[in-house]
């Protein structure tokens, strides 16, 4: 079975020398056949507003200073570099829960390990404000995030007939939980580079790759394979809320997965209809549980086509080897709403919604716009 490859020439064949991988989302199927609203994304930072929803609030005491910051036109790494310089702290003193887009106005918590009070005067700039200061007992780490709340202006967007039905479908049935273009880099080559690293292939002219970059690139390849399996399922079934015998279902509340057999299929489908769980696809790793039946065949066919086994992800036994996990194939937004705007440069729509951690706003916007919805700074921002 040949699976559709949205990953570009580096994954579907050798291609010409120096060929650049195609945008990973460009050829992935849409969930619905509704006409989209079109529009232009991220024309100004104010067009894309993101607010982190923390997994917990700071308790008010502890050796870590917690700062709620609002940034405009800054990447999260640039924000952290500014704080290191302004507060004169080492890089390891800083913690954050997720990356936020540069071409946006975003609010997120940053932790700073310091038992003493730090001079916050002079930290603020025209692009950075401190909104709240507190303390907590532990460092803020990646994943300490419940979700993100978005308010996105699509300039030039016009709602076609049936657009309300499209939004209703996305709100109630969910949308494809694709990894967004941010994961794959501005040139779309993070996945192919991760594959080369995983297979021990040389990358001429790149020199030594730091461990953190190595992990990020391999993660991008895992994400690209997930997108490909999601696309295969959507093309085969036309929907993402239907469980098949052999599926592994994932609970949205905690991410736990379990096998669905014939005897339990009806009960599991009822829970999927109630938005409690969804079918899943793997982020391949050396410990990833694979599905059985038809979904399992898709997974094994893709591994074979890519020349992989689960053991390929063990990386010689290194401790940073990706163990893998199951990820829901659909994402469920909360509080999805649409408002028509009349701006100086013409009509627009504002879409507001809340997404769980790890879900990409660009994947929801892609369905609403029925375009690739690739933001200008697609290399940055892992959550929004």
Q: Among 365, 366, 336, which Cα is nearest to 352's?
A: 336
Within a domain: residue 370? no
Residue 83 has pLDDT above 60, yes or no: yes
Flag whether 317 is in a domain. Answer: no
Kindly report, residue by residue over 190-203, the tens digit of the pLDDT: 999 999 999 988 77
| CA terminus-to-terminus distance, the chain | 34
Structure tokens belonging to residue 68: 């709620």
Q: Quick one: angle between helices 190-198 and 211-237, nearest 10? A: 110
What percentage of the chain has pLDDT greater than the value 70? 89
Percentage of residues in the chain having pLDDT higher than 90? 78
Beta-ladder partners of 67: 110, 133
Residue 332 domain-assigned? no
Residue 263 pLDDT exceeds 90: yes
| Catalytic choice (101, 241, 377, 382) | 101
CATH number at residue 133: 3.30.2350.20
In whole angstroms, what is the distance from residue 264 CA to residue 76 CA? Answer: 44
Whether residue 82 lies inside any domain: the answer is yes
Domain that holds residue 70: 56-142
How many structural domains comprise the chain?
Answer: 1
Q: What is the pLDDT of residue 152?
A: 98
Residue 288 lies in a domain: no
pLDDT grade for 208, boundaries at 50, 70 and 90 = confident
On whether residue 29 sits in a domain, the answer given is no
Is 101 labeled as catalytic in the residue annotation? Answer: yes
Q: Where are the alpha helices (DSSP H) in the chain?
A: 9-12, 76-87, 163-173, 190-198, 211-237, 265-273, 293-305, 361-369
Residue 163 covered by a domain: no
In this prediction, residue 79 carries a pLDDT of 96
Q: How confident is the model at residue 1 (pLDDT cuts 50, 70, 90)?
A: very low
Angle among Cα 26, 30, 31 to the nearest 5 degrees reads 160
pLDDT value of residue 333:
98
Write the pLDDT tens digit of every residue in 17-60: 222 333 456 689 999 988 999 999 999 999 999 999 999 999 99
Count other Cβ atoms within 10 Å, centred on residue 50.
Answer: 22
**Mean pLDDT within 222-248:** 97
> Is-contact 167 336, C-beta < 8 A?
yes
Strand partners, 338: 351
Residue 88 lies in a domain: yes
Q: What is the pTM of this model?
A: 0.89
The label of the residue with tokens 């996945």 reads: 191
């Amino acid at each position: 079975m040949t699976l559709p490859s949205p990953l570009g020439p580096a994954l579907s064949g050798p291609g010409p020398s120096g060929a650049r991988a195609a945008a990973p989302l460009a050829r992935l199927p849409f969930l619905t056949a509704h006409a989209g609203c079109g529009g232009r994304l991220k024309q100004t930072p104010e067009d894309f507003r993101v607010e982190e929803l923390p997994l917990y609030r700071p308790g008010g005491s502890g050796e870590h200073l917690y700062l709620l910051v609002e940034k405009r036109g800054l990447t999260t790494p640039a924000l952290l570099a500014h704080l290191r310089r302004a507060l004169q702290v080492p890089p390891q003193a800083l913690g954050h829960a997720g990356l936020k887009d540069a071409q946006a106005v975003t609010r997120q918590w940053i932790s700073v390990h310091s038992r003493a009070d730090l001079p916050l005067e002079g930290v603020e700039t025209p692009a950075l404000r401190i909104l709240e200061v507190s303390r907590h007992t532990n460092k803020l780490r990646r994943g300490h995030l419940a979700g993100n709340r978005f308010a996105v202006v699509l300039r030039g967007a016009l709602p076609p007939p049936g657009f309300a039905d499209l939004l209703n479908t996305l709100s109630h049935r969910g949308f494809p939980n694709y990894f967004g273009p941010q994961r794959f880099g501005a040139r779309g080559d993070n996945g192919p580079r991760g594959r080369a690293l995983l297979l021990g292939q040389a990358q001429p002219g790149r020199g030594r790759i730091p461990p953190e970059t190595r992990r990020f690139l391999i993660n991008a390849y895992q994400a690209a394979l997930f997108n490909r399996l999601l696309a295969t399922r959507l093309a085969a079934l036309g929907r993402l809320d239907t469980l098949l015998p052999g599926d592994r279902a994932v609970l949205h509340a905690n991410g736990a997965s379990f096998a669905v057999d014939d005897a339990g299929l009806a009960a599991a489908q009822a829970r999927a209809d109630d938005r409690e769980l969804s079918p899943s696809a793997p982020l391949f790793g050396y410990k990833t549980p694979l599905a059985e039946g038809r979904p399992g065949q898709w997974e094994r066919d893709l591994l074979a086509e890519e020349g992989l086994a689960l053991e390929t992800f063990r990386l010689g036994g290194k401790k940073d080897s990706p163990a893998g996990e199951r990820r829901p194939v659909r994402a469920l937004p909360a509080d999805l709403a649409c408002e028509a705007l009349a701006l100086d440069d013409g009509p627009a729509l504002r879409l507001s919604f809340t997404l769980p951690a790890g879900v990409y706003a660009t994947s929801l916007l892609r369905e609403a716009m029925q375009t690739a919805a690739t933001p200008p700074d697609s290399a940055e921002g892992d959550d929004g």
